[in-house]
């Protein structure tokens, strides 16, 4: 079926339908349903992963002064599943705003920095001026050091290699799950640092790193704000609602491309994608009621911006049900596949609002006009007492 340029392969599944056939009727029910969704997504799409490390050490680096009075250091993290081997080394860069930038925020926000500074964990190596200038610590997690990638030829990275050596095939994690696991282990380190407010840490990333940020932010509720940018297929983009020229499940899992990013066997769903028991609103619903911001380029066709609008609309009833409707957000800008300073400004506004109560000056609830109506996207309604879905097209 096609709706104004979007192909709808099947209605988006009902996230409120419990495995035993009943529907969610309370927030307690949702917590149990949330556990089911986590297991479903990991088993089919991303692969299962281990929990928190028992053996992790951190070597704290020395602060170096950089331009404008800012500071930077590199903390060396060493991860080992057993403590019996050298472990995997990850160098995490921590960028501190200048004293003047911090004081400028304190004059406007009394609570700013009272329990440490707010921080944004970037999956990858980007560092945006808009965040540092607003007093946010920026942390860079180089995820490719624990799981390199080569198109068409998946590489078994050092983390998975160590776990395979000790546990065999107990875990089925693909690259996205491995990168997300690493982001959560970096968070284990950040929450122990006196410079950082452990309750005010956001996560972001772009493209494959946006997929990673979304999965890590969905699984780990310590992340206060979650921001996937241009994350597309296996991220915020729909598998079932496809815009013109976008990546789909078949393209993602093609043996010539990135089939190693997902769980073993996920590629088999390409031939029967309409039968998937979930779409990506299931994943994004796991973030609720915490703030979730998708930042997208309106011209980024390969990342399926229309499909991202569709899953945003299907996520809204979950946020409404949990009493946090305004925390489900989407922001489009002109342009293509990038995470720009405009995207960083949008993230900074959301963090200021969610973490400090500073009102946003920009609404972030308008989807692309080509997006199908909610009633064309899904046939279910949310539990009684919540909004059945708002048409947020301009």
Residue 394 confidence class, pLDDT cut points 50, 70, 90: very low
Q: Would you say the C-alpha torsion 222, 225, 230, 233 has a positive or negative sign?
A: positive
Predicted confidence (pLDDT) at residue 112 exceeds the cutoff of 90: yes
pLDDT of residue 255: 84
Lowest mean pLDDT among 101-105, 182-186, 244-248, 381-385: 381-385
Q: What is the pLDDT of residues 253-278, one digit of tens each?
A: 998 888 899 999 999 999 999 999 99
Predicted confidence (pLDDT) at residue 61 exceeds the cutoff of 70: yes
Please report, rounded to a whole number, the percentage of residues in the chain having pLDDT higher than 70.
Answer: 96
Give the separation between CA 262 and CA 174, rounded to whole angstroms: 5
Predicted confidence (pLDDT) at residue 58 exceeds the cutoff of 70: yes
SS3 of residue 278 by DSSP: coil
Domains assigned to the chain:
2-49+96-140+195-377 (3.40.50.1820)
pLDDT of residue 4: 53
pLDDT of residue 41: 98
What residues pair up with 95 in beta bridges, in sequence order? Answer: 72, 138
Sorted by sequence, the CB contacts under 8 Å of residue 169 that are 6+ apart come out as none
Q: What mean pLDDT do residues 316-326 have?
A: 96
pLDDT of residue 391: 42
Please report, rounded to a whole number, the percentage of residues in the chain having pLDDT higher than 90.
Answer: 87
Predicted confidence (pLDDT) at residue 186 exceeds the cutoff of 50: yes
pLDDT of residue 385: 53
Q: Would you say the C-alpha torsion 121, 125, 126, 132 has a positive or negative sign?
A: positive
Q: What is the pLDDT of residues 22-57, one digit of tens each?
A: 999 999 999 999 999 999 999 999 999 999 998 899
pLDDT of residue 84: 73
Whether this model's pTM surpasses 0.75:
yes
Predicted confidence (pLDDT) at residue 222 exceeds the cutoff of 50: yes
Q: Which two tokens mark 149?
A: 């990638």
Q: What is the CA radius of gyration of the chain?
A: 20
Residue 62 confidence class, pLDDT cut points 50, 70, 90: very high
Helices 175-190 and 208-219, axial angle in degrees (round to 10): 60
Q: What mean pLDDT do residues 127-149 have?
A: 94
Q: Give the CA angle between residues 39, 43, 47 to the nearest 5°.
A: 115
pLDDT of residue 153: 82
Give the separation between CA 208 and CA 139, rounded to whole angstroms: 18
Supply the mean pLDDT for the chain: 93
**190: number of Cβ within 10 Å:** 22
Q: What is the pLDDT of residues 291-313, one digit of tens each?
A: 999 999 999 999 999 999 999 99
Q: Phi/psi of residue 328, each to 5°?
A: -100, 110
Residue 1 confidence class, pLDDT cut points 50, 70, 90: very low
What residues pair up with 297 in beta bridges, in sequence order? Answer: 333
């Amino acid at each position: 079926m096609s709706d104004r340029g979007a192909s709808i392969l099947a209605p988006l599944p009902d996230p409120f339908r419990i495995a035993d056939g009943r529907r969610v009727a309370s927030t307690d029910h949702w917590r149990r349903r949330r556990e089911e969704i986590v297991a479903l997504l990991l088993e089919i799409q991303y692969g299962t992963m281990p929990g928190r490390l028992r053996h992790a050490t951190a070597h704290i680096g020395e602060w170096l002064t950089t331009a404008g009075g800012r500071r930077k250091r590199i903390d060396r993290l060493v991860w080992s599943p057993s403590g019996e081997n050298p472990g995997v080394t990850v160098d995490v860069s921590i960028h501190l705003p200048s004293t003047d930038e911090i004081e400028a925020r304190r004059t406007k926000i009394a609570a700013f920095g009272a329990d440490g500074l707010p921080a944004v964990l970037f999956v990858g190596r980007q560092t945006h001026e808009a965040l540092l200038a607003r007093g946010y610590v920026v942390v860079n997690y180089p995820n490719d050091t624990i799981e390199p990638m080569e198109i068409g030829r998946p590489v078994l990275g050092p983390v998975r290699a160590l776990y395979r050596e000790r546990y065999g095939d107990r875990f089925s994690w693909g690259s996205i799950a491995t990168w997300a696991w690493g982001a959560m282990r970096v968070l284990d380190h950040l929450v122990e640092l006196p410079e950082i407010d452990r309750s005010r840490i956001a996560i972001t990333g772009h493209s494959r790193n946006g997929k990673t940020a979304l999965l890590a932010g969905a699984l780990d509720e310590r992340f206060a704000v979650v921001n996937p940018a241009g994350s597309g297929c296996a991220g915020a983009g729909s598998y079932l609602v496809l815009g013109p020229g976008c990546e789909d499940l078949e393209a993602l899992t093609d043996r010539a491309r990135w089939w190693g990013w997902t769980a073993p066997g996920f590629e088999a769903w390409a031939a029967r994608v309409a039968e998937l028991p979930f779409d990506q609103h299931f994943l994004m619903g796991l973030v609720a009621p915490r703030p979730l911001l998708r930042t997208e380029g309106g011209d980024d066709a390969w990342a399926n911006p229309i499909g991202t609008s569709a899953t945003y609309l299907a996520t809204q009833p979950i946020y409404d049900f949990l009493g946090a409707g305004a925390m489900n957000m989407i922001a489009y800008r002109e342009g293509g596949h990038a995470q720009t300073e405009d995207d960083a400004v949008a993230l900074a506004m959301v963090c200021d609002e969610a973490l400090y109560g500073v009102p946003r000056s920009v609404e972030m609830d308008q989807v692309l006009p080509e997006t199908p109506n909610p009633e064309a996207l899904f046939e279910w309604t949310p539990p009684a007492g919540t909004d059945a879905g708002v048409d947020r097209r301009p």
